[in-house]
Amino acid sequence: MPSISQNSQLSVDIVVPVYNEGEIVRQTFEHICSIVDHLPYNFSFLYVNDGSTDDTLDVLTALAEKDPRVHFLDLSRNFGHQAALTAGMNTSTGDIVITMDGDGQHPPEVIPQLLNLVKQGYDIVQTQRMSEAQPSWFKSWTSSTFYKLINVISGTYIVPASADFRALTRQAVDALKTMPEYHRFLRGLVSYIGFSMVILPYKPVPRVGGKSKYSLGKMVRLAMDAIFSFSLIPLYIGISMGGLLLCLALLEIIYVFSFWVRGQTSGLTTDWISLMFVTLIVGGILMILLGFIGVYVGYIFQEVKHRPVYIIKQPAKKENSD
């Protein structure tokens, strides 16, 4: 692969997933062109039509006929934003890949900065929405709560308020391709692969037109994909609950015993004491066993994701290799 810092005529693929964006896709394309046409790179556009039911495909076909830099993939149905982005990245061939939304919310004015940072040697330039520019209080609150939670329970640090607006070197894209897991949360996977990453804050702008395709259901599904694919902590709940129940059984016995050694009675009926003790012990043991099963399921889950055990950035140089 050519050295990013030396070669100025690098190829850059702009990957844009689109779902029912027919009324604005031409406008946002022209906006991106107005920025990138002045930059010294070989640009290609790779649109991914994610099962649109409007005229998005017709608009993309017309754009591709008019401009040889425009290419598109047409998915067989709506697979969702993360899947569409993955399809685009897997098909891309450029030295650098930029992913961005097709609704104009990711300002193309940021592209020169993304590329400058890649040229400075960063493999991943991850954008971050500036906090004062959130679209609505609901999105702002759910987003900040989500990132706080995920960063407490996940072993991978995920940049808060990060967007799927980023530049990646070919090496970083190839590393992402080694993770074929089904439930994808790209903001986590991008942090997981390592390499040198820099955060670039940007001010999001309102949609050029059309409506958000992220319904509440899709947001919840994305959050669940993130939590369950980046954390095994929910599986340890059984063990913790079991431990808690056994501790309560122990406390009950200590309480009753403390009266018994002093020759007094605790005021609790013997029926209640024995029933509660058995319930706590049996419940605790069951919860712990359930927790063990949870941990095994977690390990199976990690194996079936087929994530690589490691990712090599620079292969070892072998002397006398021919």
Smallest distance, Mg ion to C-beta of residue 113, A: 20
Q: Are 199 and 243 spatial neighbours (Cβ–Cβ below 8 Å)?
A: no
Among 103, 123, 225, 252, binds Mg ion (CB under 5 A): 103
Q: Which stretch binds ligand UDP (CB under 6 A): 36-44, 96-104, 238-246, 282-290?
A: 96-104
Please report, as residue ranges, which positions from 257 to 286 form the binding site for ligand UDP (by CB under 6 A).
none
| Closer residue to Mg ion in complex, CB, 143/171 | 143
Q: Minimum CB separation from ligand UDP for residue 19, in Å?
A: 3
Residue closer to ligand UDP, measured from CB, 30 or 269: 30
Binding status of residue 80 toward ligand UDP by CB under 6 A? yes
Considering beta carbons, is residue 50 or 101 the nearer one to Mg ion? Answer: 101
Looking at the Cβ atoms of 74 and 181, the one nearer to ligand UDP is 74
Residue 98 binds which entry of Mg ion, ligand UDP, none, CB below 5-8 Å type-dependent: none
Min CB(203)–ligand UDP separation in Å: 14
Burial class (CB in 10 A: 0-12, 13-18, 19+), 148: exposed
Cα–Cα dist 221/231, whole Å: 15
| Length of the chain as a residue count | 322
Does position 78 interact with ligand UDP (CB under 6 A)? The reply is: yes
Give the bridge partners for 298, in sequence order.
Answer: none
Q: Is the Cβ of residue 116 or residue 142 nearer to ligand UDP in the bound state?
A: 142
Distance in angstroms (rounded) separating the CA atoms of residues 286 and 270: 24
Q: Is 105 in the site for Mg ion (CB under 5 A)?
A: yes
List Cα–Cα distances, 112 to 6, 36, 38, in angstroms: 17, 8, 10
User: Least Å distance between CB 225 and ligand UDP?
Assistant: 13
Report H helices in the chain. 25-36, 56-66, 81-91, 111-119, 137-153, 170-177, 186-192, 216-230, 237-261, 270-304
Cβ closer to ligand UDP: 135 or 243?
135
Q: Check binding of 103 to ligand UDP (CB under 6 A).
A: yes
Q: Which of the stretches 37-45, 73-81, 149-157, 270-278 binds ligand UDP when contact is defined by CB under 6 A?
A: 73-81
Q: Which of helix, strand or coil describes residue 119? A: helix
Q: Identify residues 208-247 at the interface with ligand UDP (CB under 6 A).
A: 212-214
Q: DSSP string spanning 173-218?
A: HHHHHT---SS--HHHHHHHT-S-EEEEEE-----SSS--S--HHH
Q: Does 17 bind ligand UDP (CB under 6 A)?
A: yes
Partner touching 81 among ligand UDP, Mg ion, none, CB below 5 to 8 Å by kind: ligand UDP
For residue 38, with 0-12 CB atoms within 10 Å meaning exposed, 13-18 middle and 19 or more buried, which class applies?
exposed
Cα dihedral 277, 283, 286, 287 sign: negative
Closest CA to 15 of 79, 76, 80, 70: 70
Encoding tokens for residue 126?
């991850």
147 is a contact residue toward ligand UDP (CB under 6 A):
no
**Rounded to 5 degrees, what are φ and ψ at 318?**
-95, 130
Angstrom distance (rounded) from CA 169 to CA 260: 72
Which residue, 71 or 81, has its beta carbon nearer to ligand UDP?
A: 81
71 vs 170 by CB, closer to ligand UDP: 71
Euclidean distance between CA atoms 264 and 241, whole angstroms:
32
What is the contact surface with ligand UDP in residues (CB under 6 A)? Answer: 17-19, 21, 50, 78, 80-81, 84, 101-103, 105, 212-214
What is the contact surface with Mg ion in residues (CB under 5 A)? Answer: 101, 103, 105
